[in-house]
């Protein structure tokens, strides 16, 4: 039994597979390496406030299939801009030195940070202060640089596709245009992939600002050319019209990334009804895309990422983020992913595939 200790936290918005990572890290730390795991509660909040626990084998047993995170998470906590409310005013304070003190007091040999771009950016800054960091990429948005895919995405993609399938039958029965709005922030991966898998007739993503005339044209074309009186439109929450703006659902002032997108599909629906004689309905999938049991693929990816993270820690390869390149589990320097977003390139093969089967992106490049 070594007396080595690794810290572990899950930061940012939750997603299916976080518990699989916590389990993988803890079991391999205890079984394979004889290390101790200190889990911080609620992401960086636990590091700031000194709230943590020693993770035991029993605590992580049976959590592989559970959504969420047994450690809790926060998409607001930031040691470099800790929000303090004073007389109703919000003040940001740098408490990173205090976090580093706790890191050293606990005798941590490394800190594994599981999260998205916000978490990796904070982790990278803690690394500059001397923390030995390993990152594990999660997010349903799949928008993290340096890895082909993040865990959590496959589950959200599956949930969104199942929802589109269900909307399909009711759209067909009522001859309606049904809009399904999915999450994804500024990246259209979730809309593109679930839209394609669910047979969406129109897919609107942030990377390809749409023209409403083109959307209407695509719906009309389905009717005149194929006799289809219903259409499914999959809308990314970050979609915006050409020359227009994204729709903000709310501003979360005490969050490092305060913009919460959502609601664009209501505007698109209204514009379609104004342009043509068809009934439209909107379904916003929201947070149910972040919940539920991880798919088998996400369980596998999360467990592989967990084992790779522990391997990096034990081998002393720090300031790296675990990554998937093709079929290979590897790692990239955390600093290469900090503050970046992986967006859908307009020439992505899946866009070509979608266009070939007649799907419209609401832009003039559409076929037909």
How many Cβ atoms sit within 10 Å of the Cβ of residue 347?
7
* Binding segment toward ligand F6P, per CB under 6 A, in 133-141, 307-315, 328-336, 346-354: 133-141
Nearer to ligand F6P, 119 or 360 (CB): 119
Nearer to ligand F6P, 5 or 260 (CB): 260
- Contact between 232 and 199 (Cβ < 8 Å): yes
Region at 358 (left for phi over 0; alpha for psi -120 to 50; beta for the rest):
left
Cα atoms found within 13 Å of the Cα of residue 38, Cβ hemisphere only: 21
Number of shown-chain residues binding ligand F6P (CB under 6 A): 13
Does position 261 interact with ligand F6P (CB under 6 A)? The reply is: yes
Nearer to ligand F6P, 74 or 359 (CB): 74
Per-residue binding letters, 100-119, with ligand F6P (x by CB under 6 A): ----------------x---
Active-site annotation holder among 42, 117, 141, 298: 141
Does position 72 interact with ligand F6P (CB under 6 A)? The reply is: no
Residue 349: is it exposed, middle or buried by C-beta count within 10 angstroms (0-12/13-18/19+)? exposed
* Binding segment toward ligand F6P, per CB under 6 A, in 18-26, 179-187, 209-217, 357-365: 179-187
Does position 75 interact with ligand F6P (CB under 6 A)? The reply is: yes
Binder to ligand F6P among 177, 183, 235, 351 (CB under 6 A)?
183
Measured CA to CA, the distance from residue 333 to residue 339 in angstroms comes to 13
Residue 141 among the catalytic residues: yes
Binder to ligand F6P among 16, 184, 188, 200 (CB under 6 A)?
184
Closest residue to ligand F6P, judged by C-beta, is 183
E strands of 154-313, at which residues? 177-182, 202-204, 231-236, 248-251, 259-261, 280-284
Does position 125 interact with ligand F6P (CB under 6 A)? The reply is: no
Q: Where are the alpha helices (DSSP H) in 177-295?
A: 189-197, 212-226, 264-275
Binder to ligand F6P among 139, 159, 194, 359 (CB under 6 A)?
139
* Binding segment toward ligand F6P, per CB under 6 A, in 107-115, 129-137, 180-188, 360-368: 180-188
3-state secondary structure of 314: helix
- The DSSP output letter for 201 is S
* Binding segment toward ligand F6P, per CB under 6 A, in 87-95, 169-177, 183-191, 267-275: 183-191
Question: Which residues lie across from 204 on neighbouring strands?
Answer: 235
Does position 55 interact with ligand F6P (CB under 6 A)? The reply is: no
235: which 2 tokens? 């809308």
81: which 2 tokens? 């801009």
Nearer to ligand F6P, 16 or 79 (CB): 16
Question: Which residues lie across from 332 on neighbouring strands?
Answer: 321
Question: Which residues lie across from 292 on neighbouring strands?
Answer: none
* Exposure class string for 102-126: b at 16+ Cβ within 10 A, else e: bbeebebbbbbbbbbbbbbbbbbbb
> Which chain residues interact with ligand F6P by CB under 6 A?
13, 75, 116, 139-141, 183-185, 237, 260-261, 290
Which residues are annotated as catalytic? 141
């Amino acid at each position: 039994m070594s007396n080595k200790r690794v810290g572990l936290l899950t930061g940012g918005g939750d997603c299916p597979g976080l518990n699989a990572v916590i389990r993988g890290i803890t079991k391999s730390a205890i079984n394979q390496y004889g290390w101790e795991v200190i889990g911080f509660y609620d992401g960086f909040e636990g590091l700031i406030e000194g709230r943590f626990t020693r993770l035991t084998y029993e605590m992580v047993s049976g959590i592989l299939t559970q959504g969420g995170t047994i450690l809790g998470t926060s998409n607001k906590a930031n040691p470099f801009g800790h929000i303090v409310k004073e007389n109703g005013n919000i003040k940001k304070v740098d408490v990173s030195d205090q976090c580093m003190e706790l890191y050293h007091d606990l005798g941590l040999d490394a800190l594994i940070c599981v999260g998205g771009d916000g978490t990796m950016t904070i982790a990278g800054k803690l690394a500059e202060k001397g923390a030995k960091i390993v990152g594990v990429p999660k997010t349903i948005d799949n928008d993290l640089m340096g890895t082909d895919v993040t865990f959590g995405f496959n589950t959200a993609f599956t949930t969104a596709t199942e929802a589109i399938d269900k909307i399909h039958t009711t759209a067909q029965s009522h001859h309606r245009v049904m809009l399904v709005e999915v999450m994804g922030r500024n990246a259209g991966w979730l809309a593109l992939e679930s839209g394609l898998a669910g047979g969406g007739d129109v897919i609107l993503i942030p990377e390809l600002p749409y023209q409403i005339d083109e959307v209407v044209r695509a719906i009309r074309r389905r009717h005149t050319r194929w006799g289809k009186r219903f259409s499914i439109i999959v809308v990314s929450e970050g979609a915006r019209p050409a020359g227009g703006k994204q729709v903000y659902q709310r501003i979360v002032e005490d969050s490092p990334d305060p913009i919460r997108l959502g609601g664009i599909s209501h505007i698109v629906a209204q514009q379609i009804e104004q342009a043509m004689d068809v009934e439209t309905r909107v379904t916003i999938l929201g947070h149910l895309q972040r919940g539920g049991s991880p798919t088998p693929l996400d369980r596998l990816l999360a467990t592989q990422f967990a084992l790779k993270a522990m391997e990096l820690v034990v081998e002393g390869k720090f300031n790296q983020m675990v990554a998937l390149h093709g079929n290979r589990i590897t790692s990239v320097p955390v600093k290469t992913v900090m503050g970046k977003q992986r967006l859908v390139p307009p020439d992505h093969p899946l866009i070509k595939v979608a266009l070939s089967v007649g799907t419209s992106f609401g832009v003039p490049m559409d076929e037909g």
